Amino acid sequence: MTDPGWLSVLPPLLAIALAIWSKQVILSLFAGIWMGFLILNGFNPLLGVTAGLDGVMNVFTDPGDTRVLVFTLLIGSLIATIEESGGVRGFVHFLESRRFVHNRVRAQVLAWLTGIVIFIESNITLLVAGAVSRPLFDRYRISREKLAYLIDATSAPVCVMIPLNAWGAVIIGLVAATGIEDPLPVFISSIPYNLYAITAIILSAVVIWKNINIGPMKAAEERTARGEFLWPGATPMVDVSAEQDAGHEGEPPPPAYLMMLPILAMILMMPIGLYITGNGSIIEGSGSESILWAISFAILVSWVLMLARGQTTINELMRVFMKGAGALLPIATILLLALALGDVAKLLGTGPYVAGVVGATVPEPMLAPLVFLTSAFIAFSVGSSWGTFAIMIPIAIPIATTLGLPVPLMLGAAISGAIFGDHASPISDTTVVASMASATDHIDHVRTQLPYALLAAAISAVGFFLLGLFA
């Protein structure tokens, strides 16, 4: 067929629009996949369905994508195992008995600080921050939507500014591929220009400090203050009823280490995995392999602790393991379809088409904000910041070198836009995992987070325009 052109933007736009309108994320994603293969197969509806199913299956041909899906199921197993051990209750009791967290503000600060401190990988950040903070948010009647926003605003935005993790490795590799001789110093120099990441982190802190609740978030806070954790008809991404079991009243709280040690093991294993898979170089390590190793090691540590205390059996651990993995099967399905939608967008050339449309001659002061907005639209449409890096960094850096503009500025604009689009997109894996970690309805998280993301994006766009004037 001929070049799809403007038709290439229809699949992601259809998926996003249907997801927001219907709240049926899985069906909406497959509708986008079907639309993509419909276009690729000459608008034959039957071939669109069959090719779409093949496209979903083809996701498993990529080892990295397959590891992400397995990792998602293992997250469910880890959460279920820690809940079964009583580690969540023990850790919450540890914090409260020592007056570390004894009010609404401190509970939110804990979630925010966890996202800042754990910068190895965005999904691990979300998992840890959600597991630690969710019981406290429920206890102090802070909305789960607020928790999802806070951990989402301090996961990818923090991780993307760290050179020595999988995010930094990807960006440095893409910068090197453009012909830049010293990519690491260029990446480090771009960090102050990563305006969206910086603004999102600061804005989330201000939201805690001033208790700023905008639009849907205000309604969610008012609902939670009445003791209603979810809207009627809402579907939380995970079942956390085990944490809220009142049958433990009068029992001594379990030791906090049942939660702390597995999580610490997971965090420590991540850089070890990067070092091993990178043959002695953390920067060159495989992020997907390291994540899989880290989560598997955390489950093993949790099992050993529970068996050593004599509180369970191997058979019971396997039952909990499978139950936890099954609880996250819907999440894995969403991620599977999101990855397939990203693949069909690549086949259609969605990213290059959008970049080409907005890449016409424009005034130099507008180039940085234009790169930012283009990158944001691509990431929002395909639900992937890393995929957007691969599209936009090879475009932004040559523009800078050709026109004599600061390379770190244009690199920062491309990265910022990708993080904003990924942050705001309902089909982004980090957005899905944030909903999961907070046990909230996914679309409710998207709706409540969007006003804050748009505010941070507006501030960033103005900042890029002003920087472009004086570049």
Q: Where are the alpha helices (DSSP H) in 86-139?
A: 87-97, 104-117, 122-139
Q: What SS3 state is found at 208?
A: helix
Q: Are 4 and 348 in contact (CB under 8 A)?
A: yes
Does this model's pTM top 0.75? My answer is no
Q: Are 157 and 196 in contact (CB under 8 A)?
A: yes
Q: Are 431 and 175 in contact (CB under 8 A)?
A: no
Q: Are 110 and 95 in contact (CB under 8 A)?
A: yes
Q: What SS3 state is found at 441?
A: strand
Q: Are 375 and 418 in contact (CB under 8 A)?
A: yes
Cα 140 to chain center, whole Å?
25
Structure tokens at 122: 């965005």
- Quote the pLDDT of residue 246: 46
Angle at 75 between CA 117 and CA 238, to 5 degrees: 100
> How many Å apart are CA 351 and CA 391, to the nearest integer?
6
> How many Å apart are CA 193 and CA 471, to the nearest integer?
12
Measured in degrees and rounded to the nearest 5, phi and psi for residue 236 equal -65, 150
Q: Are 160 and 419 in contact (CB under 8 A)?
A: yes
At position 338, the amino acid (one-letter code) is: A
At position 217, the amino acid (one-letter code) is: M
Q: Are 152 and 159 in contact (CB under 8 A)?
A: no
Residue with tokens 């771009």: 190
Residue 348's Cβ-count burial label (10 Å; 0-12, 13-18, 19+) is buried
Distances (CA, A) of 274 to 282, 292, 385, 429: 5, 11, 20, 21
Structure tokens at 390: 């691969």
Q: Are 377 and 416 in contact (CB under 8 A)?
A: no
Q: Are 376 and 354 in contact (CB under 8 A)?
A: no
Q: Are 278 and 285 in contact (CB under 8 A)?
A: yes
Residue with tokens 């049958």: 247
Q: Are 134 and 437 in contact (CB under 8 A)?
A: yes
Angle at 414 between CA 280 and CA 31, to 5 degrees: 95
- Quote the pLDDT of residue 242: 47
Contacts of 16 (CB under 8 A, 6+ apart): 28, 32, 380, 381, 425, 426, 427
Q: What is the pLDDT along the chain (471 residues), one digit of tens a residue?
A: 556 677 887 887 787 677 667 757 678 888 989 999 999 998 898 988 999 999 999 989 988 778 777 877 887 788 788 878 888 777 777 776 776 777 899 999 989 988 887 766 677 678 778 878 888 898 899 999 999 999 999 988 998 888 766 677 677 777 876 778 778 788 889 999 999 999 999 999 999 999 999 989 999 999 999 988 888 877 776 655 545 444 555 567 788 888 889 888 887 887 888 788 888 877 677 766 877 888 899 899 999 999 999 888 999 999 999 988 887 787 678 768 877 877 887 788 765 676 566 555 567 788 899 889 988 988 888 777 877 776 777 777 877 877 778 889 999 999 999 999 988 888 787 888 888 888 888 889 999 999 999 999 999 999 999 998 886
Contacts of 312 (CB under 8 A, 6+ apart): 84, 85, 306
